[in-house]
Chain A
Amino acid sequence: MQQSRIHLAIAAVATAIALPTFAAEPIIGLITKTETNPFFVKMKEGASAEAKAKGAKLLSAAGKTDGDNAGQVTAIENMIAAGAKTILITPSDSKAIVPSIKKAREKGVLVIALDSPTEPANATDALFATDNFKAGVLIGNYAKATMAGKPAKIATLDLFPGHPVGAQRHNGFLEGFGLKSLDAKSNELAKPAEVVCMADSFGDQAKGQTAMENCLQKNPDINVVYTINEPAAAGAFNALKKAGKEKGVLVVSVDGGCQGIKDVGAGKIAATSQQYPLKMAAMGVAAGVEYAKTGKKPSGYTDTGVTLIAAKAVAGVDSKDTKTGMDLCWGNK
């Protein structure tokens, strides 16, 4: 008796969940790396605003932590079951997710990678993302112009070994600085003589601070700091301030979150390359709705743009001020 009642309840709940499948509005799934990173929070916000405007239904899911491939696989399966015709995904593991994406596409689902590509990149129908190498080049150019020929002693606070986004920003920065670097496809980190310390920050403020403290122990004369993102930059600034070196050291970063732009305004970070998660998601949803209506699929790579934000412009380098940055930033304003 008890058991059949439970079965009934399950059936009722399942029907309730399955019902929206029959609705006319196209269903679009968004799978981010985590639910908690402000970058992905903003991405979800952009997707749901666009979905509302276009009359689509948005389902969202995420892995538990960055790198949780199994969580993303489950999310793909659930979204196909829920009737999604388009899935937007920021792959946590660029290779491990490929078989699941292949299965989804075999069922006629349009899959678009947002923010980071899969390996191989053509495993998805299209990619909407920041050009991370270019983001690095922009801050490299800025740092070079600011240094105006003064000999540079550089510390790089990277993400963690082997991550393509980390390598692209790092190598892009060195390229922009006019140093010996590797190309945009490399997953290795270039280390020319001017780079006196390389440390992993995992994109985290506390670890960024620890990494910078250790770099300053190694070489107190560091005068340029490249950071993978703004939390790492904030950590680096803390370390510099404690060592009484916050004045003479140039800190540059990538991301463009609201806190990061505030730190640019406050002089903690000299310049940052701002990327646009909201735009990535909105473009993805628009493409999904277009596919549902006309069957037209997007293809290849679409650059969602990157802008150099600096409190002080330098001659010969195109940058926008922090007000522009604040208007377009993500996270708490």
Chain B
Amino acid sequence: MEQAQKEKEALISGSEAIAVACKLADVDVITAYPIRPYDTVMQYVAKLVANGELDCEFIVAESEHSQFEIVKHASAAGARVFCGSSGVGWMYAFEALTVTPALRIPLVAMVGNRALDDPGAFGVEHNDALAVRDLGWLLVWVDTAQEALDTALIAYRVAEDRRVFLPCAIACDGAFLTHSQALVKIPPQEWVKAFLPPYNRGDLLLHPDNPITVAPQVNEDWLMELRKHNDEAMKRAKTVVIPEAYREFERIFNRSYGNPFFEEYQTDDADVVLVGMGTLSMPVKVAIRQMRREGKKVGFVRLRWFRPFPAEELAEVLGRYRAVGVIDRDYSFGAPHVSGVVATEVRAALYPHPSRPPVLGFICGLGGREVTVPDVRRMSDLLFEAAAGRAVPLTTWVGIRE
């Protein structure tokens, strides 16, 4: 790519980074409804609209349900759309969230991860976004403001690819990412244009020139076939479209994310590894650096894409270690081994692998509680115990007042 124009650098939060991505992607219809912490993204969008930097229909809705239904229909009529929510607001929209993938609407949304009420808590917990894991949404967790901006652009490219046409939620840890500023490289418009083709709904466009009927009743006659179509779309996203998008991103933006699906940190010679999503990578990486100085070989795998889940790739990596610890910033009451959602998924991914290390689940940092360096050290100690063959509980709540 000809790089006549250069990237600019700005000190912005994760939320602002996604708002900037909306501007770069020339989004057509955006709907907003307040709930912390996601709503900051809409405050930045509103400023961009007010200042004439982003030409879109910016509609403040009267509820999350309406917010998501408005963009669903706008997308069906051919508009590139953006929306989002947090915590119980995301749950209020749930009906709209279920139909969005079923109608093959490539909506890109931001989830500012927040604990579900009651009791009220503003802080991060991943249960809100994870609630749509079985509905056909693409789900990606980001760690930094830079990754948030880049991933939003990638999300449009993947979601709007005709081979996919599924909605994509970008999960950003509430406060830790939505509200924290960092230096972010903002690519010039031309690069984004080269990377992101215009949204083309093709023969699915709702327009008088293309008089189709969208979402009629199918009953038992066709439902299974349509579900299978969505499944194929999700598979294509994983095997073809997501890797392709990251390769193109690297070529145009000169920024590489390596393996699109997960990041590996000091895993080469590790004995045990931790697995987690989102911003907890910071305390985990700090703790790992400390422990490495003490000769303890701990590595870290940060999952990005949760749907599609990179089961084979993850099993290939995790199968090499003597013990695996999954840090869940969520909880699934009554789940296998009373664990978090990610631990259950990682165990399932490892099951067909010839080498199956013990997988420990750690419940940590719920409701925005800090995941501390001593917490990470405690988890690693338990992993080494398990690696030595000693009996360790399969699920441990870490950092909880006893």
> Do A and B truly interact?
no
